[in-house]
Every structure is written in C-alpha cells, then in structure tokens.
C-alpha cells in the first residue's frame, strides 16, 4: 500500500502533524481510554497510544479504516458513524481533529459524544472556525454562480461563542473555546489549489460537466492566486476553532 502521500491533499496524513499540538490537552497515561473520532489513517491514534493509553480509532469510511489497520496493526479501529456511537460512559476522553466541520448535525454529534464519555470525561476537538478557508469558499461560490449554480455551504464552521453555547446546551462545561489562524501550505506546488478543491469541494464540482469543472477550477485559482500564492506554493487561510470541555 502506497505510503507516499505528500502531494495529495485528500490524504489525512498530510495534515496530521497539526493535530499533534491538540494532544497537549489529553491525558494519554496508562489506563486512560480514548476515542479518536474521525481517526483517518490512524497516525494520531498511534500518538495518543504512545504512553500506554487504550485508544480506539473510528471513522465512517471503510477504506480509511483498512488503511489505518494497515499502518497501525497494533491498534484497534472500527468503521462507525459518529452520529451513531454504540457506547455508554466508556471513554475518559473523546479526541477529534479536523472532523466536526464535516458534520452539520453538531447537536446530535455532541449528544452522542456526551453519552460515550464517562462522568467528568473530556472532549478535545479542533476544526474549522467561521472564517475558515474564506478566500477559497468565496472564490468557489462566485465561480459556481457564474456557471449557473448557487453554492450552499456544506461545512459547519461556527464562531467560538456559538460553539460555546452548543456545548452548554449539550451538558458540557467548556474549559476553553478559542479560534486562531493556521496558515497552511498545500502540497503539490502550482497544482496544489486545484487538487485541494477537487478533494474538498468534489460534491459541488460534480454538479458540473467535466469541461465546466475545469473552468471553475481555473477561475478559483485565478481569484485566489493574489492572496494565497507565495511564489512556490499556495498557502491556505485556515482558521481553526479549538475546544476543551468536560461532561457535566
């Protein structure tokens, strides 16, 4: 199985390094039970298990779970939908990196996580904040409109205040909810932005015939280049929201 994914922005290991800073909020000592929600290829699951914690990585993609088991056969992985967690008070921590923005029904997600945690258990998560990838999103919406389609936002990217309120309503006690910039170089050089759009906005691109898709990709690249191209690579304006909260 191919392990060289440095030029593919769809591969989870491309951005896994960023998730390691999130782990400072997790007790990974021996005996801790951790659920890695949206584990991808399992790299962060392995980091979480490094000090003896018992880690279960879950993802709703069967293909992803196969890869995680291949890369980390010593760990436990399962194909499970985050909105249908089969756990009751089993985990000390639920850890999730770059997943929540893919799940619009965040209230149900938080309810499932709350049920899976032990009393006093901790949720540690990071995902896209309100202005995440704003330049690309605006450019794609404008290009789509020019070609007859109204782009509708698929990502859940809240403000800190909004997510704080959702945590409270889900019976969590937030310890911190903050946002920050994380400018992120894309792999692939001059082709990096188009590859990123093909990956992360593929559902919207698929509404157009192939020729239109290429036109839209070119228009998005042209609109973004003055702001995101540094002469060597595209650097995307990621803005992240990080939250730590306890089950109350």
The pLDDT assigned to 27 comes to 97
141 in helix, strand or coil? Answer: helix
pLDDT, tens only, 62-81: 999 999 999 999 999 999 99
Compute the mean pLDDT over every residue in the chain, rounded to the nearest whole number: 93
* pLDDT for residue 4 is more than 50: no
> Three-state DSSP class for 97?
strand
What pLDDT is attached to residue 123? 98
Residue 244 has pLDDT above 50, yes or no: yes
Give me the sheet containing 33-37, strands edge to edge.
76-79, 54-59, 33-37, 91-97, 117-128, 235-247, 172-185
Residue-level pLDDT at 2: 43
Q: Which of 242, 239, 245 is nearest to 130 (CA)?
A: 239
Q: What is the mean pLDDT of residues 89-105?
A: 96
The percentage of the chain sitting over the pLDDT mark of 70, rounded to a whole number, equals 93
Residue 186: pLDDT over 80: yes
- CB crowding 215-235: b at 16 or more within 10 Å, else e: ebbebbbebbeeebeeeebbb
For tokens 């923005």, the residue is 101
131 compared with 14, residue with greater pLDDT: 131
Residue 7 pLDDT? 53
- Give the fold, CATH level 3, of 12-131+154-187+239-247: Rossmann fold (3.40.50)
pLDDT one-digit tens code per residue, 122-175 = 999 999 999 999 999 999 999 999 999 999 888 899 999 999 999 999 999 999
Q: What is the pLDDT of residues 17-49, one digit of tens each?
A: 677 889 999 999 999 999 999 999 999 999 999
pTM, rounded to two decimals: 0.90
Instruction: Please give the Cα distance from 245 to 248 (Å, whole number).
Output: 9
What is the model's pLDDT at position 36? 98
**How high is the pLDDT of residue 153?**
85
Name the phi and psi angles at 6, rounded to 5: -65, -20
Nearest to 227 by CA among 139, 97, 166: 139
55, 99, 216, 231 from 210: Cα distances, Å: 42, 29, 10, 28
Residue written as token pair 């992985």: 77
Residue 16: pLDDT band (50, 70, 90) is low
pLDDT at 11 over 90: no
Mean pLDDT of 199-216: 94
């Amino acid at each position: 199985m191919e392990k060289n994914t440095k030029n593919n922005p769809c591969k989870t290991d491309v951005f896994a390094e960023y998730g390691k800073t999130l782990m400072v909020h997790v007790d990974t000592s021996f005996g801790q039970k951790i659920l890695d929600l949206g584990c991808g290829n399992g790299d962060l699951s392995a980091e979480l298990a490094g000090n003896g914690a018992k880690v279960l990585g879950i993802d709703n993609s069967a293909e992803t779970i196969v890869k995680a088991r291949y890369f980390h056969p010593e760990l436990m992985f399962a194909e499970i939908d985050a909105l249908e967690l089969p756990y009751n008070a089993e985990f000390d921590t639920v850890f999730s990196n770059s997943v929540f923005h893919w799940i619009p029904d965040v209230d149900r997600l938080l309810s499932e996580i709350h049920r899976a945690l032990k009393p006093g258990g901790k949720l540690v998560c990071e995902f896209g904040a309100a202005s995440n990838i704003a330049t690309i999103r605006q450019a794609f919406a404008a290009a789509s409109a020019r070609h007859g389609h109204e782009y509708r936002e698929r990502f859940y990217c809240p403000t800190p205040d909004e997510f704080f309120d959702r945590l409270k309503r889900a019976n969590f006690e937030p310890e911190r909810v903050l946002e920050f910039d994380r400018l992120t170089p894309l792999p692939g050089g001059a082709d990096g932005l188009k590859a990123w759009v093909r990956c992360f906005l593929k559902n919207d691109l698929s509404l157009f015939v192939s020729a239109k898709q290429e036109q839209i990709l070119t228009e998005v690249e042209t609109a973004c280049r003055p702001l995101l191209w540094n002469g060597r690579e595209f650097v995307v304006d990621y803005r992240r929201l990080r939250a730590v909260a306890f089950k109350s």
